[in-house]
Chain A
Amino acid sequence: MKGQTMTFDQPRPLRQSMSWLHTWSGLLLGWLLFAIFVTGTLSYFRNEITFWMQPELHGAQPVATDQIAFLRALALLGRDAPDAQQWSLTLPTPRNPTLGLSWQAAENRPPAGDVARERPDQSGIRGEGEEGGRRGNRGQGGAPSPDSAAAERSSSDGAIRERPNREGMRGEGEEGGRRGNRGQGGAPSPDSAATERSSSDGAIRERPNRGGMRGEGEEGGRRGGLQREQGEPDSLAAIEDRPPVGDAARERSNSGEARGAQRQQGQGGGGGGHRGPRLVLDPASGSTLEGRPTAGGNFLYRFHFELYGMDRIWARWIVGIATMFMFVALVSGVIVHRRIFKDFFTFRPGKGKRSWLDAHNASSVLSLPFHLIITFSGLVLFGNMLVPSAQQSAYPEGLDAYRAEARRMFVPSDIPKPSGERAPLTDLAALVAVAQNTWNGERVGSITITHPGDRNAVIEMRQMNFPGLTGGRNIPTLRFDGVTGEALATPPMRESSLVQAIGSTLNLLHRGFFATPVPRWLLFLAGIGGSLMIASGLIMWSVSRARKSPGPVPWGHRLVEVTNIAAIAGLIVAIAVHFWANRLIPANLATRADWEIYAFFIAWAIMLLHALLRPGKAAWVEQLACAGALFALLPVVNAATGGLALPGSIGRGLGLLIGFDLCALVSGAGLLFTAYKVHNHVPRARLAAEKPLPGTEPALLPAAMEEAA
């Protein structure tokens, strides 16, 4: 706030410096941060959002684990993938009531020399479609130029882990897509790779992905599936960005799958329209369900750290820099706040700027632990990209050494080879019961069956929920003989160093993999608090200046006002439009998932235009009212376009749909109420009377934000 009077040629008190820093670091990237926070907050429910966006799945009947149609599922797998190397089942969870099936084709590769062969091959492929020249180069070398991380990776680790898949896939003729998936799943860039996962693991896994990073995509479902199919529960698969949990796997799978489809259409990810081996079943009846392709919650999730339509590495850098600004703003904000304890609970509504400051302080201070952790862990997730020197100084010999060491941490699968003798599978339902007993009632999240139909079949059950934050990405796993049903030794756990443990704990906290419903809602609410903090800070910049300027509005103030409207109210409208588009775009339109995303951006652009053309207050009121109406009507749209309506979801106890519809209703009502209050608001400041003020209604705007998020 001291921005206007601040000069740099004389000493000034610490607080004044910090206040300047806080104001401008907050303003400069505040709009982007608001979008990151809102979409990131929604990402805590991306699973639920994706499910809502596939009304074809709403018919799934939630059942207890012992009533799941395992026999039917196995019959389907036996029909579609009798020779698969591995089958995977994701069991219904509170976050997704469907049963997911996927498989990994058998390795039909030549036994020798594959590593060598694989590399060039793989990289070639990658190079090919994706990153054009750059990648190509890397790829072809098959290797090791220092920064050719991607190629390198793929050759090294990629070769290790991915090989089987690849080949398999290839066999199926969908390599492109497949590969893409994997890639995508992964990660983005050599360095960014790291970003997603903590520390070294990340690096390891991501490698293969480099390719994917590009356009492709999203972590597709496929990937979730694949990995889990790999049957190396404790391996990298388990530590990487996908938690080995049912939910999370699905998270990817659903949206991923859709995404996959979309990608193939939209971005030409290679595979040609094949959706990959993944089936979604109604767990009660075992009948298959076909979800429409959708951008799903995954779009919002991706957007919050990779934005859209630009190079992912650039996007991640931008988000990383914004995150750093956020961190600066948080720390300087604490320093600036003179009465952090005295004003701890203070909120004085109806007092203009004072109220905005109170709202800003309260939303910041009361959730400060969350804000600090989410921001810091966000930086740590980007750590390898933002601070490559850490890796470079620890491994002066070069990236190879780093990778070699990371690879050593990877525990190879110790599942025996198939015997070649056929034997029937044991009763899955009984094993699930055994597993749940062993875990004192903790539910099974996913099941993988390696070498199904062989005498050496092995069944692994993974727990649905993380037992804690400190165990790294290890999740309790039990292993059984697939034919006799006898319990086998549990697979080896992955050891982690202290650094990895800290990294993975921060990662878990940030991404909420551990979160059962209560923690998840708390994270969501805290995220809303963060969105409110940013929004109130942005609005305060305008409010505090509006009073002081009697003359014509300086262009800078108008710029901030317009941007505030478009970035805050406009974003909320765009999100609502995204959900509407999901239902209004024909379900069989090939590029529909892309259009859902385009609808989001088109709506946002229109809101920006609208904010430019209309006076400030009118623009606020209209956009808030528009967002409110769009949200409030979402449950109606849901019911009218094939989704399960609210009474039905309550009757069936489908919490995720109830949650979505009720949140939409509450947000809509809150936004409309806010629009109404802003409309009726008379600015306190006399000076302001002759020109439009941005929503000067103190208590309400934040409430609106809250609803919308």
Chain B
Amino acid sequence: MNLLCLVLSFWGFAAISAGMERHAKDIFAAAGSLRARRLRLLAGYILLALALPAAIAAHGLSIGIAVWFGILALASSALALVLAYCPRILRWALR
């Protein structure tokens, strides 16, 4: 469940970054349409939201929420490094 939460949040943040013009260019070479980016943003937020129940399932409500924040921090930091050094590897995960 912890791992699922991490995967969901990483994927969610990746989708959100792909919805941002600057990162979308890095990932896909082209930013794509505004509509496509909006969709990615939306999908990203949904994935982040889905990560919360995963954390709660693993740790109970109160601790789960705290863990969710921790995992979000971890996932976003990891993503920042991926975007800085090898953004292209995210292509396969995000249309």
Which residues of chain A have a CB within 8 Å of any CB of chain B?
342, 344-349, 362-363, 366-367, 369-370, 466-470, 505, 509, 514, 516, 518-519, 522-523, 525-526, 529, 699
B83 surroundings in chain A (CB, below 8 A): 345-347
Contact A369 B73 (CB under 8 A): yes
Residues B69 and A349 in contact, CB atoms below 8 Å apart = no
Contact A526 to B80, CB < 8 A, known contacts A342-B20, A469-B62, A514-B63: no
Contact among A342, A345, A469, A699 with B66 in the assembled complex (CB-CB below 8 Å): A469
Chain A residue at minimum C-beta to C-beta distance from B65:
A469
- A509–B66 touching, CB < 8 Å: yes
Residues of A with C-beta under 8 A to B84? 347-349, 699
A-B residue pairs in contact (CB < 8 Å), sample of 6: A345-B80, A468-B60, A518-B58, A519-B63, A522-B70, A699-B84
Chain B nearest Cβ from A516, distance in angstroms:
8
| Interface: B30 (CB within 8 A) | no
B70, closest chain A residue (CB): A522
- Does the CB pair B73–A345 fall under 8 Å? no
Interface of B toward A, CB cutoff 8 Å? 2, 13, 17, 20, 22-23, 58-63, 66-67, 69-71, 73-74, 76-77, 79-81, 83-85
Q: Which residues does chain B contribute within 8 Å of A525, judged by CB atoms?
A: 70, 73-74
Nearest 4 CB-CB pairings of A with B: A522-B70, A469-B62, A367-B73, A468-B62
Contact B77 A529 (CB under 8 A): yes
Name, among B17, B70, B81, the residue most crowded by chain A CB atoms within 10 Å (CB to CB): B70
Please tell me if the beta carbons of A370 and B80 are within 8 angstroms of each other in the complex: no
Given A467-B60, A519-B66, A522-B67, A347-B81 contact (CB < 8 Å): yes
Nearest chain B CB to A439 CB, angstrom units = 13
A566 to B20, CA, bound (A): 40
B5 to chain A: closest CB distance in Å?
9
Question: Could you say which of B2, B17, B23, B77 contacts A367, with CB atoms under 8 Å apart?
Answer: B77
Cα–Cα distance between A529 and B66 once the two chains are bound (Å): 16
* Given A367-B73, A369-B73, A519-B70: A345 touches B62 (CB 8 Å cut-off): no
Report B-chain residues with C-beta under 8 Å of the C-beta of A523. 70
Q: How far is the CA of A522 from the CA of B71 in the complex (A)?
A: 7
Q: Are A345 and B76 in contact (CB under 8 A)?
A: yes
CB within 8 Å for A518 and B77 given contacts A468-B60, A468-B61: no
Question: Is B73's CB under 8 angstroms from A366's CB?
Answer: yes
Q: Once bound together, how far apart are the Cα atoms of A313 and B75, in whole Å?
A: 39
Identity of the chain B residue whose Cβ is nearest the Cβ of A515 in the assembled complex:
B63
- With A362-B77, A468-B62 as known contacts, state yes or no: A349 contacts B85, CB within 8 Å: yes
State A319–B39 Cα separation when bound (angstroms): 47
- Measured between alpha carbons, how far is A362 from B75 in the docked complex, in Å? 12
Contact A344 B76 (CB under 8 A): yes
**CB nearest neighbor in A for B71:** A522
B74 with A469: CB separation less than 8 A: no
Residues in B whose Cβ lies below 8 Å from that of A529: 73, 77
A666 nearest CB across to chain B (Å): 16
In the bound complex, CA of A399 to CA of B47 (Å):
52
State the Cβ distance, B67 to closest chain A Cβ, in Å. 5
A370 near B70 with CB under 8 A, answer: yes
Which B-chain residue is minimally distant from A370 (CB atoms)?
B73
- Tell which of B17, B61, B71, B80 has the most Cβ of chain A within 10 Å: B80
Instruction: Check B77–A366 contact: CB distance below 8 A.
Output: yes
Q: Which has the most chain A C-beta neighbours within 10 Å: B58, B59, B67, B83? A: B59
Q: Contacts A468-B62, A526-B73; is A346 near B80 (CB within 8 Å)?
A: yes
Contacts of A518 in B (CB 8 A): 2, 58-59, 67
B residues within 8 A CB of A519? 59, 63, 66-67, 70
Query: Within the complex, what minimum Cβ distance (angstroms) separates A658 from chain B?
Result: 19
In angstroms, Cα B70 to Cα A366, docked, is 10
Q: How far, in Å, is B20 (CB) from chain A's closest CB?
A: 7
A362 close to B20 (CB less than 8 A): no
Give the shortest distance, in Å, between A479 (CB) and chain B (any CB): 24
A366 to B66, CA, bound (A): 14
The distance in angstroms between the C-alpha atoms of A695 and B43, with both chains bound, is: 40
**Chain B residue nearest to A470 in the complex (CB):** B62
A84 to B76, CA, bound (A): 54
Q: Are B67's CB and A362's CB within 8 A?
A: no
How distant is the Cα of A525 from the Cα of B17 in the complex, in angstroms? 22
The chain B residue sitting closest to A350, CB to CB, is: B84
Q: Which of A342, A362, A470, A518 has the most CB of B within 10 A?
A: A518
A349 (CB) vs chain B CBs: closest residue: B84
Q: Which B residues lie within 8 Å of A367 (CB)?
A: 73, 77
Query: Chain B: which residue is nearest A371 at the CB level?
Result: B73
- CB A707 to nearest CB in B, in angstroms, measures 15
Rounded to whole angstroms, the CA-CA distance of A344 and B18 in the bound complex is: 12
Residues on B with beta carbons closer than 8 Å to the beta carbon of A348: 84
- Least CB distance from A677 to B in Å reads 14
Query: Which B residue's beta carbon lies closest to that of A525?
Result: B74
A27 to B21, CA, bound (A): 35
Q: Is B79 within 8 A of A345, CB to CB? A: yes
A523 to B2, CA, bound (A): 14
Docked pose: A342 CA to B73 CA in angstroms: 17
Nearest CB of chain A from residue B9's CB, rounded to whole Å? 11
Instruction: Write out the residue numbers on chain A whose beta carbons fall within 8 Å of the beta carbon of B81.
Output: 347
Give CA–CA (A369, B76) in the complex, Å.
Answer: 13
Q: Is B80's CB under 8 angstroms from A347's CB?
A: yes
Query: Which residue of B67, B81, B84 has the most chain A CB atoms within 10 A of its CB atom?
Result: B84
B-side contacts of A342, CB under 8 Å: 20, 22
Give B67's nearest chain A residue, CB to CB.
A519
Instruction: Return chain B residues, CB-CB under 8 Å to A466.
Output: 63
Q: Which residues of A contact B63 (CB under 8 A)?
A: 466, 468-469, 514, 519
Cα A523 to Cα B67 with chains together (Å): 9
User: Cβ of B67: which chain A residues have Cβ within 8 Å of it?
Assistant: 518-519, 522
Residue in contact with B23 in the complex, picked from A345, A505, A516, CB distance below 8 Å: A345
In the bound assembly, the distance between CA atoms of A128 and B66 in angstroms comes to 45
Query: Within the assembled complex, what's the spacing in Å between the Cα atoms of A509 and B83?
Result: 31
Which residue on chain A has the smallest CB distance to residue B83? A345
A673 CB, nearest partner CB in chain B, Å: 15
What residue in chain A is nearest B74 (Cβ atoms)?
A: A525
Q: How far is the CB of A534 from chain B (nearest CB, A)?
A: 16
Instruction: Give complex CA distance A505, B85 in Å.
Output: 39
- Asked if A366 and B76 sit within 8 Å, CB to CB, the answer is yes
